[in-house]
Amino acid sequence: MTMHQKIVKPKMGLLELGKQLGNVAEACRIMGYSRDSYYRFLKQFQMNGEEGLREISKSKPNPKNRVASDLEEAVLRKTFEYPAYGQVRISNELRREGLFISPGGVRCVWLRHDLEVFQKRLKALEARAAQEGLVYTEAQLVALEKKKEEEREHGEIVSEHPGYLGSQDTFYVGNLKGVGRVYQQTFVDTYCKYADAKLYTNKTPLTAADMLNDRVLPFYNSHEIPLLRVLTDRGTEFCGVIEHHPYELLLGLEGVEHTKTKARHPQTNGICERFHKTILNEFYQVAFRKKVYDSLETLQADLDDWLKDYNEDRPHTGRWCFGKTPMETFKESLHIAKEKMIGYDEQMSDGAVAVSEQL
């Protein structure tokens, strides 16, 4: 709820209550307002609607306290030249040109022009470039690239078709008697929400690579489309020196781009995290109450049955699913992926085969 809603909602509630009760005095007593306030709110609402109920500041700006117009123009010029600079850096840069303004003065200028945060400055720069046909400088291009990278790490995941981006993560299932620790390697296609999982007794680069090599890549190859990119966190099972890391090596040999989440931002890989919550609630908590598992194979067999139901029978409310099952979404959108393929070889490369033999 925004601050505007917090201010307007009680006033609208008072007016609505007075209308329902037909008694202004009783409505004011219940809501804790005076009758003068009620009639003032009613007049404002009748004149301007909900906007009339907003808190309007009575303070008036004092132009005498503002910086000179030429200095304000200099601040804006330097801001658009270097949108990634903060208020202190802008102040120091202007001082080198013989223009003196404090960091606080720079921020006041930004506030008047709605430029106080980095994202707003970039948005204004893009609008200005589009309107005036400006050519970006090196500093501006760096700032715009930084914005794109942050949107990629923190914003909504963009997925164009099946195989465009897969999300992989490790989930700790628990400790089974006679088996030990059990970890689940999870993969989710971010477009159609097709999911697959395999259980292991440890979490290493070999298990992460085995999940892709044994389950994921054969699935995409069987449907004659490639897996273009994989999103993972920065765990040691996913990240390392390419020459000595089985997971990174397999991705490199298969031509799959590897995108990593920003450190300490697990929400970036939220699709996998949400699937982990679903599988915990709908499978593991139910299965462990009904049955005692003494081997990994038995648990994996039941997990495969649940995954089959999840992918083929359970409707999904994902962005591109529209109530269809993941497999229905996958099959109906295969043509989108195939239309964008250029010279893709559906067979595994010789290097990938060699890696699979080691696994």
pLDDT digits (tens, 9 = 90+) for 15-70: 888 888 889 998 899 888 999 989 988 888 888 887 778 766 666 777 777 888 89
Alpha carbons 196 and 79: distance in angstroms, whole number:
48
Judged by DSSP in three states, 45 sits in helix
The segments of the chain whose pLDDT lies below 70 read 1-5, 55-59, 150-156, 342-359
Structure tokens at 174: 């628990």
pLDDT of residue 154: 58
d(CA 195, CA 303): 12
Q: Give, as one character, the DSSP assignment of residue 66.
A: S
Query: How far, in Å, are 174, 190, 227, 277, 306 from residue 312 at the CA level?
Result: 27, 16, 21, 19, 10
0.75 exceeded by the pTM?
no
**SS3 for 34?**
coil
Phi, psi of 176 (to 5 degrees): -95, 135
**CB–CB of 79/121 below 8 Å?**
yes
Cα separation values, 305 from 86, 283, 289, Å: 55, 10, 17
- Give Cα 312 to chain centroid, integer Å: 27
Q: 205, 240 in Cβ contact below 8 A?
A: yes
On the CB side of 166, CA atoms within 13 Å amount to 28
Write down how long the chain is.
359
> Per the structure block, which two tokens stand in for 46?
């009748």
Whole-number pLDDT of residue 349: 40
